[in-house]
Amino acid sequence: MNNNISQEKLNEIRNSVDIVDVISSYISLIPKGKNLFGICPFHDDNSPSMSVSKDKQIYKCFSCGAKGNVFKFIEDYENISFIEAVKKCADLGGVELDLHFKSLVKDSNKYSALYDVYEDSLKFYHNILNTASGKEAREYLNKRSINDEIIKEFKIGLSLQDRSLLTKFLTKKGVTKENLIKSGLVIDNNYGLNDIYMDRIMFPLEDLQGRVVGFSGRIYNRKDTSKYINTKETEIFKKGELIYNYARSKEEVRNKGYVIVMEGFMDVIRAYTVGIKNCVAMMGTAVTKNQANILKKMAKEIYLCFDGDEAGAHATFSCIDELAKVGVIPKVIRLEENLDPDEYILKYGYDKFKEKIDNPINVMDFKLSYLKENKDISKSEELAKYVNNVIKELSKVNDDILKEITLKKLSIESGLDIDFLKERITEKEEPKEEIKKEVKDDKKLKGYEKAERNLVYYMLNSKGVIKIYNNRSVFLSNPKLRRLANEISAYYHKYGEISLADFLSYIESYPELNETTSEILDLNLSDEVDLKVIDDYIVTIKDNLFEMQIKKLQDEIKKITDIEKQKELASKIADLKIQKENM
């Protein structure tokens, strides 16, 4: 049903991968019965709510209702188009794609022209750094222990003092004036079209898919009030939705099982130079809810390693709270002498920094230290303020063991009875909100309505039931279910089989069919097909159809006065009743 890709190709690509392998590369899955379960990445899940079926090759969250095949999971997890998700699967499964398919992937993104501008700009700046004009900048980077290998890995470049070099280059490539300005790399002022960046080392900034969407330009041979200039926000560059080094670090994060979150991209690059590659950065901004959810998806364990100064401690405190909102309790790495990770590694080297990573502190130990900063707790007023602040923070913690350990420390530190402190926490704790999925009340449905829904459910899972549906010429009164049943039947007629995972791809571009299918899958009926039960469903459905036809004729009789016409309709009613009896 997808207008761009043949269903046969979609099926080949989907069958080239195992949904369990793919999803387990994003989140941890635990076997439970015949399915596997994991923390759902599509809502603030604190217990394994997502089920992944190896047999059906689909996933489903029993809390938020997220469901689909492997394409849908990748599409929603990575926030990319359907076609891009299909390409990712093809790459994973080793399925060769033709030029037409590759062009579809490119055209699937309405911002492809802007991505092209940035890709061309990246090559332009990177090439300049490697010319004679880039000698001074390369020497500067080498002195900062950024060698040619790192320059190549992070695609570092250089902008020159000429204010129109990039503009001319992109114009020759056919980029329109509108897109030059939209990109944020060119400005239209009294001097005409001019480059934003001049005489700066250029660090590309990538989105979650690894596409360049911005730059950070750093001075290197002069003084300037702005050490770094970042690309302004554009249609494709939104700081609060990105995490620096996400795409490059994903595999290493999965292998290590944890991600280290830093403030700036230079911290990440520095860590990379000493072989620590599971690091990302927030680009110096406060962590947003969107970023917190992305981090939660990345790894089970999150380490915060922000700058060692007071501002870094404040950023750590804020980030802990933001992560707590999505059900994550991180660990904390604090650096001495107000050093940031870049400075710390340069001064003390790999071994000492690795020792810090191997010995993180828990969030409450960090908060105890932070809340006690600049307070004289020997004074009653300041002690009371400190205790109240700690209790406030403890009320946000769901880990009972961590809470108990912290309470004991606070009791010893303050001299207050631990039971008293526990009572104060209970007073401050707010009732926890549980995600409740709205489910239609099955009891309110009539018998034939249940029968229609259940029949379609089994049609999605059994070609035998589809054959029965076709052979018995079943008519469903619900138009949405009727359309879905007809599509299932058409799919089977065309492909000679039914696979739920492949059928979901088949209806991908039809929102109403997707919605109806989603509702049907929520029924959670037994996987075993009982032909006697199927027959009962059909009898109930057909019985209802006869009742509807009889009722319609009875209503017509009441509206007419012609005796002969009344007799004719009464005869039809009698025939329908006989047919109903002989079903």
Range of the domain at 373: 367-428
Helices (H), 183-278: 246-256, 265-273
Is residue 85, in this structure, part of any structural domain at all?
yes
Quote the pLDDT of residue 500: 93
- CATH code for the domain in which residue 100 is found: 3.90.580.10
Q: How many Cα atoms sit within 13 Å of 314 on the Cβ side?
A: 6
Tens of pLDDT, residues 222-246: 877 788 899 999 988 988 888 999 9
Joined together, the tokens standing for residue 163 give 């204010």
Quote the pLDDT of residue 520: 94
Whether residue 204 is found in the same domain as residue 311: no
Name the domain boundary from 312, 336, 359.
359
- Total domains present in the chain: 5
Is residue 348, in this structure, part of any structural domain at all?
yes
Contact 529, 458 (CB under 8 A): yes
Name the domain boundary from 107, 141, 175.
107
Is residue 53, in this structure, part of any structural domain at all?
yes
**In angstroms, what CA-CA distances link 267 with 242, 515, 580?**
16, 45, 77
Whether residue 447 is found in the same domain as residue 566: yes
Quote the pLDDT of residue 423: 83
Report which residue type is found at 275. G
Helices (H), 132-243: 135-143, 148-153, 165-172, 177-182
Whether residue 99 is found in the same domain as residue 157: no
Whether residue 162 is found in the same domain as residue 284: no
Is residue 223, in this structure, part of any structural domain at all?
yes
Quote the pLDDT of residue 581: 64
Is residue 435, in this structure, part of any structural domain at all?
no
- CATH code for the domain in which residue 287 is found: 3.40.1360.10
Is residue 339, in this structure, part of any structural domain at all?
yes
Q: Residue 102 burial (CB < 10 Å; 0-12/13-18/19+)?
A: exposed
Its pTM surpasses 0.75? no
Name the domain boundary from 87, 107, 127.
107
Is residue 437, in this structure, part of any structural domain at all?
no
Intervals of the chain under pLDDT 50: 1, 432-440
Is residue 486, in this structure, part of any structural domain at all?
yes
- 91/23 Cα distance (integer angstroms): 15
Helix, strand, or coil here: 196?
A: coil
Whether residue 458 is found in the same domain as residue 567: yes
Quote the pLDDT of residue 434: 46
